[in-house]
Structures are given as structure tokens and as C-alpha cells.
Amino acid sequence: MTPSPTARWTTGWLLAAAWALSFPLFSSLAPHRLWGWCAAAGYLAAATATALGRRRAALAAALLGAVAVPLLWLVLTGQGQSEVTVVERSGRLLLESGRLYVDRPAHVEEYTPYLPGMALLGIPRALLGGDGDGAGWAARLLGDARIWCAAVLFGCLWAARRLLHGGTTVRGPGCGPGRGPGVGTGRGPGGLLPVLVASPVVALPLAVSGVDLPLAGLCCLALAAAAAGRPVLTGAALAGACALKWTALPAVAVAVALLAVCRGGWPAVRCALVAAGGTALVVLPAVLLQPAEVGRQVFAFPTGRAAVPTPASSPLPGRLLAELGPWGWYLTVGLLLAGGLAVAGSLLARPPRTVAAAADRLALGLTLAFLLAPAGRFGYLALPVLLSVWARSVTVPGVSRVVTGSGRPWPRPSGRRPGAERSERTGGHFA
């Protein structure tokens, strides 16, 4: 017997509440415990509202409890993970001295394991202040890096949806006539995006740190732009992601492969050139100004090779191997490179032809990287989950997800006038 949609949604909210309650019980971090209490209350209210048949009220309760209340409280009281302070400090240093990194850091709080693009999200704090006791609530709110991380994420998701949902009629092989995704029915897949935001995958990092969300949003935008045949926009989004964290590099390979198989070699080359040039434009000045610190803080520190140990010490396979000694660290790096080569080989042997396939391939690569890295956190795995769920939230069941322009000939249905297929192929972003 298949459970009803109401039963499935109610169960989902209850599972989210159970996950949120684990943080007050087991976490030693005050922001995580606060989020857990607030989110659990919101998810339980959402489960109750769903059981009563009030799905809109359920979504509102989840967003209120898991996102709005904990985020505003933590921002206005100045609480959060250390990453928030690190980003805001790098923004202040950029404005004051043109440098991003503390020279010869002696404590873990002085390390900045991000590339220069992340400092831009800390500039509002430097301009508005808001980190003192006498600062007003508006300065605290608008200066907090989490607010700008969320703005980048939501802006990218909105732009990605606009790219993928042109509001035109879409028909693909094996699909009957019908309205394409995004045609003002109000019931399209975009309705799942608020659920994704309310889920623990997005709500927890949004409230306590936010630093991985701009990277996720830019990766989603890059895949959507590649699906829409926009190589320059794809390269720009990839450049933005790579200027934040070097872990975005797998997204370049996946997006270029999607463009190459669906649009041809030249668009893929243009995308790669824009991505490389944009990244160099942002990163190269910092590398030339502080080469030693970039190597020490951006590469050595996150991989456990700096003088100060990284706090990213969850018992993942790579971390456990690295703790066995120098040979364990090199073995971990070797396995990490082997995993990267395997994913790269899959892109050559069987490149993705759909947005969902590309997102899944990128999620697979990132999952292998996070599991096999010499240092990492369980929370990093939220990024691959977000990518896979997002890809399914922007597609419509019953509409083929193969990107148009893939070069594969379409069989002409009997009784159709010549040229009808062409008009439909150019009518939307999916075929």
C-alpha cells in the first residue's frame, strides 16, 4: 500500500524534527543547539499542519522555525560559527590594507581558509560596523556576512530557475503536448525550492555560518546556464564559485562537459576561458601579494598540513587515514586524486546530458572529495545533497530533461509538418 502524499510529507517533517533535536542533545556549539530547538519546534508545527491538510501553513511554520527565528536571533545577538568572523575580518583587512590574510597566524581563529572572493561578503560589516555593543539592529543585520551569503544563494537560485523555466511550450521525444515548466500554473517544480530552503540541508548552515551557501548557489547557476546554452554566464558563475573556495573546481569540469556534449566544443571552450580568466582576475592579486599565506591558509590548513590543526576533524575515512601518520596522509591524497580521475574519466566516457545528471555527477565528485580529504566535516556533505535535490526541484515529471541542442536527431512523428520539431526545439531549455 502506497502512503498518501499527506502521510509522506508528515513523515518528512517529523524526520526533520528528529534530526534538529539531535543538536541540542549532542552538539557542544551554542548556535547549533539554539537552531535545533527552534527548528524542531518549526518542523513539529509543520507536521501538525500537514496532517490537518494545511500545507501552506506547514511550509510557513518550517521556514519560521528553521530559518527566520534562529537566523535573526543569532545575527542580532552576534552569535555564530567562527567562519562568520573570519569572513568579516577578511573584508575589513581588504578595505584597510588590501591584504586578506593575517601574516603568520598563531591561532586557529587567525586562519582564513578561503580564496579572495569570500572577502567581498565581509565588506558590508566593515562598512556598516555593527560588531560593537552600541550598534543598532539595522547595522548588525545588514552587516552580517550570513545575510549576504543567503542573498547570493537565493539570487543564484532565482536566476537558475528563470534560465530553466522560460514559460514556453516544451515537447520532447516520448513526451506529449503540454505546458512547459514555469508556465504560470503556480504548481511547477519551483514550489519545491521553499521546502529545500526550510530543510535542514539549507536552514542549518544558513543560520549558523552560511559560508558554503554562495558556493552552492553559484554551482546551481552554472549548471542551469550550461543547460540553457549560455557559456559566458556559465563561466562567470564558475569563476565566482572558484574565487570563493578551491573545492568548486569539480564544477568546472562537469559544466564544461555538459556544454560540450549538448552545445558543442566551442561553447565549452568559451566557458572554460571565462571561468579561468575570471578566477585569475580575483585570485591572482592576493597570490602575488601574499603567496606564502595563500599556500599556508588556503591549501595547507584545510588539508591538515599547517602548524595549527584544523577544527574540521569529523571521523571521515580520509581523516582517519591521515591520522595514521605521514604515509596515511599521502595515501589519503592518492585516493583523493584517484577519485578525481575516476569522475573525470566518467565525464569523458559518459558525459551528462541533463541538468539532473550533471548535478548528480558533481554531487558524486564532491562527496568523494569530502570523504577522502585529509580533513573534513560531516556538514560538508550537505552541499552534494543540496545539488541533487535542487536539480530535481527545477524539473517537471513527464518532461524530458535532455538539454536541447544536444545534436541527437529527433524522430519526426507521423502526420507532423516539416519544421514543427525545430520550432519546438527552440522553444524551451529542455527537450
Contact in structure between 191 and 379 (CB atoms under 8 Å)? no
Q: What percent of the chain clears pLDDT 90, i.e. is strictly above it?
A: 56
The CA distance from 174 to 160, in Å, is: 26
Mean pLDDT, to the nearest integer, of 141-153?
92
CB 390 within 8 A of CB 196: yes
Non-local (6+) Cβ contacts of 109 within 8 A are: 82, 85, 86
**Pick from 233, 225, 226: nearest CA to 259:** 226
Give the pLDDT score at 190.
53
* pLDDT score at 426: 32
Spatial distance between the Cα atoms of 47 and 59, rounded to a whole number of angstroms: 9
Between CA 248 and CA 352 the distance in angstroms is 18
Q: Which amino acid is at 372?
A: L
The Cα-based distances of 31 to 28, 377, 408 in angstroms read 9, 17, 51
Residue indicated by cell numbers 524542531: 40
In this structure, what DSSP letter does residue 243 have?
T
Task: Find out whether 188 and 379 touch, Cβ atoms under 8 Å.
Answer: no
Mean pLDDT of 16-20: 95
Q: What is the largest CA-CA distance in the chain?
A: 75
* CB-based contact 368:335 (threshold 8 Å): no
Residue whose cell numbers read 558556493: 215
Helix (H, G, I), strand (E, B) or coil at 403: strand
| CA atoms of 68 and 286, how far apart (whole Å) | 36
The reported pLDDT for the residue numbered 191 is 65
Q: If pLDDT is split at 50, 70 and 90, which confidence band does 111 have?
A: very high
Whole-number Å distance between alpha carbons of 139 and 257:
43
User: Angle at the Cα of 301 (from 297 to 302), degrees rounded to 5?
Assistant: 110
Residue type, 375: A
Cα(39)–Cα(14) distance, integer angstroms? 11
Residue 255 CA to residue 351 CA, distance in Å, equals 10
In whole angstroms, give the CA distance from residue 81 to residue 77: 13
- Do residues 404 and 227 touch, judged by C-beta distance below 8 A? no
Q: Which amino acid is at 295?
A: G
pLDDT in tens, 325-364: 888 889 999 999 999 999 999 999 999 999 999 999 999 9
In this prediction, residue 291 carries a pLDDT of 94
- Mean pLDDT across 381-402: 73
**What's the pLDDT at 400?**
40
Which distant-in-sequence residues (6+ apart) come within 8 Å of 339 by Cβ?
Answer: 365, 368, 369, 372
Count the neighbouring beta carbons within 10 Å of the beta carbon of residue 332. 24
Q: What is the pLDDT of residues 398-409, one digit of tens each?
A: 444 444 444 443
DSSP code at position 402: B
User: Residue 324 contacts by C-beta under 8 Å, 6 or more apart in sequence?
Assistant: none
Return the number of other C-beta atoms located less than 10 Å from residue 331's C-beta.
Answer: 17
Mean pLDDT across the stretch 157-168? Answer: 79
| Whole-structure pTM value | 0.84
Angle at 12 between CA 6 and CA 14, to 5 degrees: 105
C-alpha to C-alpha distance for 17 and 320, rounded to whole angstroms: 30
CA 76 to CA 388: how far, in whole Å? 32
**Cα gap 219→72, rounded to integer Å:** 26
pLDDT (tens digit per residue) in 219-267: 999 999 999 999 999 999 999 999 999 989 999 999 999 999 988 889 9
For 255, the grid coordinates are: 559544466
Residues 75, 234: Cα–Cα separation, whole Å: 32
pLDDT tens string 62-85:
999 999 999 999 999 888 888 999
Give the separation between CA 303 and CA 307, rounded to whole angstroms: 11
